[in-house]
A and B are shown apart, each in its own frame.
Chain A
Amino acid sequence: MLDGLIERMLNGDKRATARLITLVENDEEKAREIISKIYPYTGNAYIVGITGPPGAGKSTLLDKLIRVAREEGKVVGVIAIDPTSPFTGGALLGDRIRMQRHSTDPGVFIRSMATRGSLGGLAKATSDAIKVLDAYGCDVIFVETVGVGQIEIDIVKTADTVVLVTVPGLGDDIQAIKAGLMEIADVFVINKADKEGADATYFELNLMLDLEKERWERRGWRPPIVETVATTMRGIRDLWKAIQEHREFLEGSGEIERKRKFRAEEEVKTIISGKIAKMISERLDEDEVSGLIERIVKREIDPYSAADLVLEKTLGVKV
């Protein structure tokens, strides 16, 4: 069944492609088989991450970026992520609403994904879904993260160019110099730039970049700040240009190789730790663990020593 689906996907069949994304999302065994079979066909797509707080206009901006990329004849993939409820396991995925005009364009593939318990702003199967769209033949893949706060930065491990979308009036200048999200942007966007406070936001971001001069001089890339009004197309072409300039920088400086090595390393580490966690939970002696938990509560043993005991027994090695 998988070989047939993969063949149809490589021939540009959207239904087979959609089915493969579902399989990499739902079924670990099949994901493994699919990825090893399609891996030789990947590596051609350029991956752009769009991140920022909820309501910043990420989906609307993306709708317009798709338009500009399509004018250049690029085949476009979109993975739009929204959160899964930690309480019910359900999700309401609504990013598509803003991009529906592109649904019937043969050169566009849009897929909504739910985080399903993942906390870094992406879905667990995002990187596998990217590989499917890459093999399908997308030239550029946009990944829209969930609305993020300060530390959901998994996108940096996934995208070639990270676009951070912010809006005027989110907070004072201290917000802009906090660690985390602000450090991962390759391009800054101030969307809704017709709103009051846009100039102040521009000034604050610019100041922050000035203070980090050393860091970006070392990298050789100072993140540009683009002002946009996504609803009216204002600034969208400048944004697309900035993304492309960043790509040229990455490719020209060899930085792209370093990025891709880092990404492969992170990916392999994630797979290894996932497998180890699974091995341990499969071999765990539940009775022994609950006995230990009783002892922890009674203060007879501390949590660290209890964990070591369990690990030594299940792995058979001294930890």
Chain B
Amino acid sequence: MVERSKVRVLVAKPGLDGHDRGAKVVARALRDAGFEVIYTGIRQTPEQIVESVVQEDVDVLGISILSGAHMVLIPKILKLLEERGLKVNEDVLVIAGGIIPPDDAEELEKMGVAKVFGPGSPIEEIIRFIDENVPKLKKFREN
């Protein structure tokens, strides 16, 4: 397992809704689990999120989205990551949470989102997922 305090997670909130309670609860729980969490606040554009991923050199990007625009915003973020030379699941793990119907979740996971966590997902599940998948990223395999 990679030492949690050296794992950096960006919790991002794209879109126009201001419902950040969920994102904050997750950010705080990940902090309490020992991760280094970067929170960027509400109403972030995909461009701002991707630039933050680059400058902060995070290992995990957690996207929280409740506005219903996930099928527009998440593919946009994935595309921008690719344009910046960041391969999902290779350079950065992308996970998502919020109100995302199962069919959409399935499609997003096909596009490269490592896992979509729906409402009521136990936080332990998210933590376990990060613990299990971060060591598979290229930068940790190299060391």
Interface residues of chain B, those whose CB is within 8 Å of chain A, are 4-6, 8, 27-28, 30-41, 44-45, 47-48, 51-52, 54-57, 84-86, 139, 142-143
> Could you say which residues of chain B place their CB within 8 Å of the CB of A18?
54-57
Interface residues of chain A, those whose CB is within 8 Å of chain B, are 1, 14-15, 18-19, 21-22, 26-27, 84-85, 88-94, 96-97, 100, 103-104, 109-112, 114, 116
C-alpha gap A155/B14 in the complex (Å): 34
Q: Is the CB of B57 within 8 A of A88?
A: no
Q: Which 10 residue pairs spanning A and B have beta carbons closest together?
A: A97-B41, A18-B57, A89-B5, A90-B31, A90-B34, A103-B51, A92-B31, A103-B48, A22-B57, A89-B34
Within 8 Å by CB of A90, from B4, B41, B86, lies B4
Within 8 Å by CB of A19, from B4, B41, B57, lies B57
Q: Is the CB of A100 within 8 A of B34?
A: no
Within 8 Å by CB of B37, from A15, A19, A92, lies A92
Q: How far is the CB of B18 from chain A (nearest CB, A)?
A: 13
23 contacts across the A-B interface (CB closer than 8 A) = A14-B55, A15-B85, A15-B86, A18-B55, A19-B139, A26-B6, A84-B5, A85-B32, A90-B4, A90-B30, A90-B34, A90-B35, A91-B31, A92-B27, A93-B36, A94-B38, A94-B39, A94-B41, A96-B40, A96-B41, A103-B52, A110-B52, A111-B56
Within 8 Å by CB of A92, from B4, B28, B47, B84, lies B28
Q: Is the CB of B38 within 8 A of A96?
A: yes
C-alpha gap A88/B32 in the complex (Å): 6
Q: What 12 new A-B contacts, CB under 8 Å, besides A19-B139, A114-B5? A: A15-B57, A15-B84, A18-B57, A22-B8, A88-B33, A90-B4, A92-B31, A93-B37, A97-B40, A100-B41, A103-B52, A112-B38
Q: How far is the CB of A134 from chain B (nearest CB, A)?
A: 16
| Nearest CB in chain A to that of B91: its residue | A15
Q: Is the CB of A110 within 8 A of B31?
A: no
Q: Is the CB of B39 within 8 A of A109?
A: no
Within 8 Å by CB of B57, from A21, A92, A116, lies A21
Q: How far is the CB of B31 from chain A (nearest CB, A)?
A: 4
Q: Is the CB of A15 within 8 A of B54?
A: yes
> Could you say which residues of chain B place their CB within 8 Å of the CB of A112?
38, 56
Q: How far is the CB of A132 from chain B (nearest CB, A)?
A: 11
> Could you say which residues of chain A place their CB within 8 Å of the CB of B32?
85, 88, 90
C-alpha gap A114/B8 in the complex (Å): 10
C-alpha gap A94/B38 in the complex (Å): 6
Residue of A26, A84, A96, A97 ringed by the most chain B CB atoms within 10 A: A96
C-alpha gap A19/B33 in the complex (Å): 24
C-alpha gap A84/B41 in the complex (Å): 19
Q: Is the CB of A100 within 8 A of B40?
A: yes
Within 8 Å by CB of A96, from B52, B54, B86, lies B52
C-alpha gap A93/B36 in the complex (Å): 7
C-alpha gap A89/B142 in the complex (Å): 24
| Nearest CB in chain B to that of A19: its residue | B57
Q: Is the CB of A90 within 8 A of B38?
A: no
Within 8 Å by CB of B39, from A1, A22, A85, A93, lies A93
Q: How far is the CB of A100 from chain B (nearest CB, A)?
A: 5
Q: How far is the CB of A142 from chain B (nearest CB, A)?
A: 14
> Could you say which residues of chain B place their CB within 8 Å of the CB of A103?
47-48, 51-52, 55
C-alpha gap A178/B32 in the complex (Å): 35
C-alpha gap A110/B37 in the complex (Å): 15
Q: Is the CB of A104 within 8 A of B57?
A: no
> Could you say which residues of chain B place their CB within 8 Å of the CB of A88?
31-34
> Could you say which residues of chain B place their CB within 8 Å of the CB of A27?
143
> Could you say which residues of chain A place their CB within 8 Å of the CB of B31?
85, 88, 90-92
